[in-house]
Amino acid sequence: MLDGVVRTVPQAEGLARMLGELGKKLDAVLYFDIADDVLVQRLSGRTVCEKCQTPYQGREPGTPCDKGDGGRLVRRKDDEPEAVRNRLEVYQRDTAPVLAWYRENGVPVKTVDAVGSVGDVTRRALEAVGL
How far, in Å, CA of 63 to CA of 31, rounded?
34
**Backbone φ, ψ for residue 60 (5° rounding):** -70, 145
Backbone angles phi, psi at 40, to 5 degrees: -60, -45
pLDDT of residue 4: 79
Residue 3's pLDDT is 85
pLDDT given at position 5:
84
The CA-CA-CA angle for residues 53, 54, 56, to 5°, reads 120
Q: What is the pLDDT of residue 66?
A: 94
Q: What is the pLDDT of residues 32-64, one digit of tens each?
A: 999 999 999 999 999 999 999 999 999 999 999
Residues of the chain scoring pLDDT < 50: none
List phi, psi (to 5°) of 109. Answer: -105, 115
Evaluate if pTM is beyond 0.85. Answer: no
pLDDT of residue 30: 95
